[in-house]
Structure 1
Amino acid sequence: MSLDYIPLLVLFLIAILFSAIAIIVPSVLGPQRPTKTKLAPIESGMIPFHDARRRFPVHYYVVAVLFILFDIEVIFLYPWAVLLGQLGLFGLIEMGVFVLLLLVGYVYVWRKGALDWN
């Protein structure tokens, strides 16, 4: 049984080797010309104008959590779509109930105003 894991171990070691080479070789062989402009912190191509430790509105986090929640729920549609022929009418009804529950949750969140960006 342990011999079956040897190819996986070799693949893991090769991945570590390639990633180490990709990090070390450019830093050793690449040009080293640091300037004040190059060392300045940049956020998405813009000079930062606030402190990095400023507070974000709670609404930002609520929208982020809701996006992740509904995004992960949609992932469950892919295995169902692959097996739809094998599941038959029962699988179709079950997925209809699942999508209906997602829709009810979405309408609830929308009515509560969690998706309004003011």
Structure 2
Amino acid sequence: MSLELMLASSIVALLVILLPTLFLLSRKLGPSNSGNKAKNSVYESGISSPIGNSESRFSAKFYLVAILFVLFDVEIVFMFPWAVNVRELSLFGLFEMFTFIGLLLLGLIYIYKIKALSWQ
């Protein structure tokens, strides 16, 4: 048996034994959540009794706006290295960045055209 296989099997065996033991110890030694009504009651933003069901469905618009935000926010990450190396990239780098920003602008125009951000 190779040394790497022995090491990997011993790590797996250790995790199989150690993790359940730690969970059981934390359950036995940790504080219990006994029937204290004030401690177990819901409290959110100053409201002690919430209104409505917590399992209500959200509109897909929320998810669409979140995905679009992440999409356009990640593009900023690509602009930082360009801004740092703009002098070394010269005219070709400038043309590439204007092309990149132009594609982003076309995407934003498309999003406005299909009214993806309008709330109705």
Give the structure-1-normalised TM-score.
0.64
CA distance in 2, matches of 1:45, 1:103: 42
1:18 corresponds in structure 2 to none
Match of 1:49, SS state, is coil
2:97 corresponds in structure 1 to 95
**Residue 55 of structure 1, aligned match among 54, 57, 71:** 57
Q: Please show how residues 57-96 of structure 1 align to structure 2 within 5 Å.
A: 57-96=59-98
2:41 corresponds in structure 1 to 40
Structure 1 residue 48: Cα displacement: 3.0
Between 1 and 2, higher relative CO (CA 8 Å, sep ≥ 6) is seen in: 1
CA distance in 1, matches of 2:115, 2:70: 17
* Percent sequence identity over aligned pairs: 44
Runs of 5+ unmatched residues, structure 1: 1-27, 29-33
Runs of 5+ unmatched residues, structure 2: 1-29
**Residue 114 of structure 1, aligned match among 104, 113, 116:** 116
Q: Which has the larger radius of gyration?
A: 2
Structure 1 residue 51: Cα displacement: 2.1
Give the structure-2-normalised TM-score.
0.63
Is 58-67 or 34-43 further displaced after alignment?
34-43
